[in-house]
Each structure stands twice: as structure tokens, then as C-alpha cells.
């Protein structure tokens, strides 16, 4: 009897094919939706990971170049005049905004001037860090929710397997294997999406804190100079 059912299953469309593509095609709407969500999240996460990696590499180099120029310059004003109007370096942008405020407040007392420049430095630093940390929350969200989304697909697939058993009134592995395979596929995708996202989020969050400390240190030294 079991051999007959297995033969019928195979004859009905290659259910014995457990390739990833066939597992996706055989899955029902809910499991397919889970798989597509996890695949999309994983692809976007990897795109963000490569983007943020390039961003941190770029700004660390450009900031080092700016700091070298700053400490070698004869004066902050001469350095400001030599800098390009448009730049992608966060620290250079912060410095330019601070210098613009410093020039505007030349007629003010030193206490007022220093306070206003300090405020500009704080606001500019906050703006630049927010830009650097943009989409960090997506990585954190994927890392924390993807396993549970995959688990939902797993539970749904196993439910379908039990329904197949109830309908066929047969406990043969050939009846429940496709549904279980689909369920485990969803679990694997959930982990595949979550693990790189968590690792990347922790790394980039650490890099962001180090870069923030670097900017804050420069701002304190710049304020002490002016």
C-alpha cells in the first residue's frame, strides 16, 4: 500500500524532487510569502552591508586626511578657505559649518561666539551620525524577526503535513516529507537572513561609536583652540 501511494505521488509531478526551486513551487501561498519575504530581506541586508562597509572605509580615510591637513595648517581660517565647497567627509562638513558660524559671530563676545560654535558642532555632529547610521534599524529588525518569520513558515508547513496525513489516512513518510521539507526550508532562510544581519549590525554599530568618539574628540580640541 505504501509503495502504491509513493508511486502515485511521484507520478503526480515529481514530489520526490527536493531541490530548493521545487520546494518553493510546491509550497502553498503562506509558505511562499514567507520565503519571498525572507529572501527579499536577505538581499536588501547584504546590499546594506556592502554599502555600509564602503561608507565606513571611505569616511575613515577621508577623515584621517582632513585631520592631517588641519594639524598642519597655519590657521583654521586658511584651511577652511582651501577646502572644496562640496565634500562627502562628515568631519569636514562639521568643521566648515563651525567655521561659518565662527566668521558670522566675529563681532560677538568670545563667550557668545564659543557657545554658538559649540552648539553648531553638536547639531552638525548629530546630523552626520544620523546619516551614517541610516538603515541600521533595518539590519537590527531583520536580525531579530527573521528567525521568527521562518519559524512561522515552519509551523505552517508542518500543519499542512499533518493535514496530508489526516486526509490520506496514511503515516507514510512520502506523504509528509514534502511539507516538512518546505517547513525546514523556511527555517533555514530565516537563519540565513538573520545571522549576517546581526553580525553586521553589531560591527557597524561599534564602528559608528568609534567614529562618533573620534568626531567628539576633534570638536573638543577645536573648541579649545578657538
Residue 2 confidence (pLDDT): 42
pLDDT tens string 154-210: 888 787 777 767 676 666 666 666 667 777 778 888 999 999 999 999 999 999 999
Which range, 64-78, 91-105, 196-210, is most confident? 196-210
Residue 68 confidence (pLDDT): 92
Residue 8 confidence (pLDDT): 40
- Residue 165 sits at the vertex; the CA angle it makes with 163 and 171, to the nearest 5 degrees, is 160
Rounded percentage of the chain residues whose pLDDT exceeds 70: 81
pLDDT tens string 17-69: 556 566 666 667 777 888 889 999 999 999 999 999 999 999 999 999 999 99
pTM: 0.77
What integer is the mean pLDDT of 11-22?
A: 53
Residue 197: Cβ within 10 Å count: 26
DSSP state of 186: H
Instruction: Give the Cα separation of 193 and 190 in Å (integer).
Output: 5
28 Ramachandran zone, left/alpha/beta (phi>0; psi -120 to 50): beta
For the chain, give the mean pLDDT: 82
Instruction: Give the Cα separation of 60 and 91 in Å (integer).
Output: 10
How many residues belong to the chain?
A: 226
pLDDT reading at 16 higher than 60: no
Amino acid at each position: 500500500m505504501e509503495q502504491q501511494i509513493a508511486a502515485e505521488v511521484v507520478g503526480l509531478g515529481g514530489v520526490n524532487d527536493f531541490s530548493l526551486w521545487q520546494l518553493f513551487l510546491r509550497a502553498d501561498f503562506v509558505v511562499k510569502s514567507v520565503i519571498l519575504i525572507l529572501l527579499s530581506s536577505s538581499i536588501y541586508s547584504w546590499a546594506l552591508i556592502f554599502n555600509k562597509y564602503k561608507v565606513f572605509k571611505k569616511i575613515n580615510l577621508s577623515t584621517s586626511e582632513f585631520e592631517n591637513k588641519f594639524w598642519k595648517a597655519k590657521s583654521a581660517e586658511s584651511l577652511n578657505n582651501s577646502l572644496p565647497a562640496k565634500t562627502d567627509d562628515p568631519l569636514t562638513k562639521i568643521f566648515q559649518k563651525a567655521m561659518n558660524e565662527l566668521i558670522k559671530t566675529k563681532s560677538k563676545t568670545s563667550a557668545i561666539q564659543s557657545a554658538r560654535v559649540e552648539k553648531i558642532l553638536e547639531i552638525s555632529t548629530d546630523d552626520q551620525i544620523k546619516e551614517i547610521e541610516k538603515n541600521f534599524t533595518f539590519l537590527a529588525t531583520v536580525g531579530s524577526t527573521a528567525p521568527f518569520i521562518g519559524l512561522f513558515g515552519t509551523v505552517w508547513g508542518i500543519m499542512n503535513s499533518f493535514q496530508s496525513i489526516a486526509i490520506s489516512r496514511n503515516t507514510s513518510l512520502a506523504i509528509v516529507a514534502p511539507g516538512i521539507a518546505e517547513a525546514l526550508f523556511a527555517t533555514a532562510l530565516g537563519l540565513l537572513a538573520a545571522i549576517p544581519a546581526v553580525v553586521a549590525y553589531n560591527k557597524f554599530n561599534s564602528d559608528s561609536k568609534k567614529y562618533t568618539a573620534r568626531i567628539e574628540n576633534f570638536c573638543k580640541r577645536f573648541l579649545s583652540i578657538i
